[in-house]
Structure 1
Amino acid sequence: MDGSVPQQRMSLRHVSVAQLTSLVERSHARLCAVLVLLSLVCFLPGFTTLQPMDRDEPRYAQASKQMLETGDFVDIRFQDEARHKKPVGIYWLQSASVALGEALGVPEARTTIALYRIPSLLGAIASVLLTYWAALAFFGRRGAFLTAALMATCVILMVEARLAKTDAMLTACSVAVMGGLARAYLSRGAGVLPRRALLIFWTGFTLGILIKGPLVLMFAGLAAAVLSYKEHSARWLLTLRPWLGLLFTLAIVLPWFVAIAIKSGGEFFAASVGKDMLGKMGTAQKYHWAPPGFYLLSFFATFWPGAILAAIAVPFAWIHRREEPVAFALAWIVPSWIVFEAVPTKLPHYTMPLFPAVAIITVMAIARHFVGPHRPAAKPAALLIPFIPLGLAIGLSIVAWSFDGLPPFRALPALIISSLLALWAWWLFVKNRMVPTLWAGFLSSAFLAIGVFGFAQLDLRSLKISDRLAEVAHNVPCGNPQVATLGYREPSLVFLTGTNLDMLDSGAEASRFLRQGGCRVVFVDKRFEGEFRAENERLRQKPVLSTRVQGFNINSGRQVDIAAYATGF
Structure 2
Amino acid sequence: MRTADAGHAVPPGAEAGFLDRLIEAASASHARACALLLALCLVCFLPGFVSLQPMDRDEPRFAQASKQMIETGDIVDIRFQGEARHKKPVGIYWVQASVVKGAEALGLDRARTTIALYRVPSLIGALLASLFTYWAALAFLPRRGALVAAALFSACIMISAEARLAKTDALLTACSVAAMGALARVWLGRITPGRTRGRPDLTTVLVFWLAMAIGILIKGPMVPLFVGLAALALSLKERSGRWLMDLRPGLGLGLTLAIVAPWFVAIAWKSGGAFFGEAVGHDMLGKVGGAAEKHGAPPGTYLAVFFATFWPGAAFAALSAPFAFANRRDDAIAFLLAWIVPAWILFEAVPTKLPHYVLPLMPAVAILTLLAVARGALDPGRRGARAVAALVVLIPVGLTLGLVGVAWTFDHVIPVAGLPLLLASCAAAILAVVLFARRLPERALACAILASALLSPAVFGLTQPVLAALKVSPRLAALRDGLPCAAPKVASLGYREPSLVFLIGTDLAMMNTGAEAAEFLAGGGCRLVFVTEPLLDEFRRAETSVKAAPVGRVSGFNINSGRRIDLSAYAVTP
TM-score by length of 2: 0.95
| 1:479-515 superposed Cα distances (whole Å, 9 cap, x missing partner) | 1100100000000000000000000001101111010
Corresponding letter in the other structure for 1:74: V
Corresponding letter in the other structure for 2:99: S
* Residue matched to 2:246: 239
Is 1:439–2:446 an aligned residue pair?
yes
2:547 aligned to which of 536, 542, 546: 542
* Residue matched to 2:233: 226
1:356 aligned to which of 347, 354, 363: 363
2:141 aligned to which of 132, 139, 142: 139
Corresponding letter in the other structure for 1:261: A
* Residue matched to 2:55: 53
* Residue matched to 1:408: 415
Q: Is the 8 A contact 1:385 1:426 kept in 2?
A: yes
SS of structure 2 residue aligned to 1:193: coil
- Partner Cα distance (1:293, 1:16) in 2: 39
Is 1:182–2:184 an aligned residue pair?
yes
Is 1:562–2:567 an aligned residue pair?
yes
Is 1:99–2:101 an aligned residue pair?
yes
Cα offset, 1:568, TM superposition: 2.0
Relative to structure 1, the CA distance from residue 22 to residue 403 in structure 2 (aligned partners, 3 Å threshold; closer, same or farther) is: closer
Relative to structure 1, the CA distance from residue 245 to residue 524 in structure 2 (aligned partners, 3 Å threshold; closer, same or farther) is: same
| 1:15-44 superposed Cα distances (whole Å, 9 cap, x missing partner) | 998776554322111100100000000000
- Partner Cα distance (2:74, 2:344) in 1: 37
2:321 aligned to which of 314, 326, 332: 314
Of 382-391 and 21-30, deviating more is: 21-30
Relative to structure 1, the CA distance from residue 160 to residue 18 in structure 2 (aligned partners, 3 Å threshold; closer, same or farther) is: closer
Relative to structure 1, the CA distance from residue 299 to residue 180 in structure 2 (aligned partners, 3 Å threshold; closer, same or farther) is: same
* Residue matched to 2:473: 466
Corresponding letter in the other structure for 1:73: I
* Residue matched to 2:383: 376
- Partner Cα distance (2:419, 2:175) in 1: 36
- Partner Cα distance (1:430, 1:38) in 2: 26
* Residue matched to 1:4: none
* Residue matched to 1:518: 525
Q: Is the 8 A contact 1:312 1:375 kept in 2?
A: no
- Partner Cα distance (1:39, 1:51) in 2: 21
Relative to structure 1, the CA distance from residue 301 to residue 18 in structure 2 (aligned partners, 3 Å threshold; closer, same or farther) is: closer
Cα offset, 1:407, TM superposition: 2.0
Corresponding letter in the other structure for 2:137: A
Relative to structure 1, the CA distance from residue 206 to residue 58 in structure 2 (aligned partners, 3 Å threshold; closer, same or farther) is: same
- Partner Cα distance (1:15, 1:385) in 2: 21
- Partner Cα distance (2:565, 2:22) in 1: 54
Q: Is the 8 A contact 2:556 2:564 kept in 1?
A: yes
Relative to structure 1, the CA distance from residue 256 to residue 304 in structure 2 (aligned partners, 3 Å threshold; closer, same or farther) is: same
| 1:421-455 superposed Cα distances (whole Å, 9 cap, x missing partner) | 11111111111111110111111001110111112
- Partner Cα distance (1:23, 1:374) in 2: 31
Relative to structure 1, the CA distance from residue 358 to residue 568 in structure 2 (aligned partners, 3 Å threshold; closer, same or farther) is: same
Q: CA RMSD in A?
A: 1.4
Relative to structure 1, the CA distance from residue 22 to residue 416 in structure 2 (aligned partners, 3 Å threshold; closer, same or farther) is: closer
Is 1:29–2:34 an aligned residue pair?
no
Relative to structure 1, the CA distance from residue 437 to residue 56 in structure 2 (aligned partners, 3 Å threshold; closer, same or farther) is: same
- Partner Cα distance (1:461, 1:435) in 2: 40
* Residue matched to 2:10: none
Is 1:173–2:178 an aligned residue pair?
no
Relative to structure 1, the CA distance from residue 371 to residue 191 in structure 2 (aligned partners, 3 Å threshold; closer, same or farther) is: closer
Structure 1 unaligned runs (5+)? 1-10
SS of structure 2 residue aligned to 1:411: helix
* Residue matched to 1:341: 348
Relative to structure 1, the CA distance from residue 522 to residue 430 in structure 2 (aligned partners, 3 Å threshold; closer, same or farther) is: same
| 1:124-154 superposed Cα distances (whole Å, 9 cap, x missing partner) | 0100000000011111101110110011100
Q: Is the 8 A contact 1:466 1:492 kept in 2?
A: yes
SS of structure 2 residue aligned to 1:160: helix
Is 1:209–2:216 an aligned residue pair?
yes
Q: Is the 8 A contact 1:510 1:532 kept in 2?
A: yes
2:258 aligned to which of 224, 227, 251: 251
Q: Is the 8 A contact 1:121 1:162 kept in 2?
A: yes
- Partner Cα distance (2:138, 2:303) in 1: 27
Q: Is the 8 A contact 2:184 2:335 kept in 1?
A: yes
* Residue matched to 1:7: none
Q: Is the 8 A contact 1:191 1:239 kept in 2?
A: no
* Residue matched to 1:41: 43
SS of structure 2 residue aligned to 1:445: helix
- Partner Cα distance (1:21, 1:216) in 2: 32
Corresponding letter in the other structure for 2:115: I
Corresponding letter in the other structure for 1:565: Y
* Residue matched to 1:120: 122
- The 5 A counterparts of 1:479-490 are 479-490=486-497
Corresponding letter in the other structure for 2:572: T
Residues matched between the structures, number: 556
* Residue matched to 2:463: 456
* Residue matched to 1:478: 485
SS of structure 2 residue aligned to 1:313: helix
* Residue matched to 2:558: 553
Greater RCO between the two (CA within 8 Å, min separation 6)?
2
- Partner Cα distance (2:18, 2:445) in 1: 20
- Partner Cα distance (2:486, 2:20) in 1: 63
SS of structure 1 residue aligned to 2:64: helix
* Residue matched to 1:6: none
- Partner Cα distance (2:127, 2:562) in 1: 33
Q: Is the 8 A contact 1:90 1:166 kept in 2?
A: yes
Of 18-27 and 421-430, deviating more is: 18-27
- Partner Cα distance (2:113, 2:53) in 1: 11
Is 1:293–2:304 an aligned residue pair?
no
Q: Is the 8 A contact 2:24 2:144 kept in 1?
A: no
* Residue matched to 2:156: 154
SS of structure 2 residue aligned to 1:410: helix
Cα offset, 1:552, TM superposition: 1.3
* Residue matched to 2:284: 277
- Partner Cα distance (1:17, 1:218) in 2: 38
Cα offset, 1:325, TM superposition: 0.1
Corresponding letter in the other structure for 1:398: G
Structure 2 unaligned runs (5+)? 1-12, 192-196
- Partner Cα distance (1:95, 1:136) in 2: 35
* Residue matched to 2:499: 492
SS of structure 1 residue aligned to 2:379: coil
| 1:182-234 superposed Cα distances (whole Å, 9 cap, x missing partner) | 01100013252112211211111100000000111110001101111111111
* Residue matched to 2:82: 80
SS of structure 2 residue aligned to 1:40: helix
* Residue matched to 2:397: 390
SS of structure 1 residue aligned to 2:529: strand
- Partner Cα distance (1:109, 1:237) in 2: 46
Corresponding letter in the other structure for 1:82: A
Relative to structure 1, the CA distance from residue 550 to residue 70 in structure 2 (aligned partners, 3 Å threshold; closer, same or farther) is: same
Of 282-291 and 121-130, deviating more is: 282-291
Q: Percent identity?
A: 58
Relative to structure 1, the CA distance from residue 209 to residue 486 in structure 2 (aligned partners, 3 Å threshold; closer, same or farther) is: same
Q: Is the 8 A contact 2:484 2:573 kept in 1?
A: no
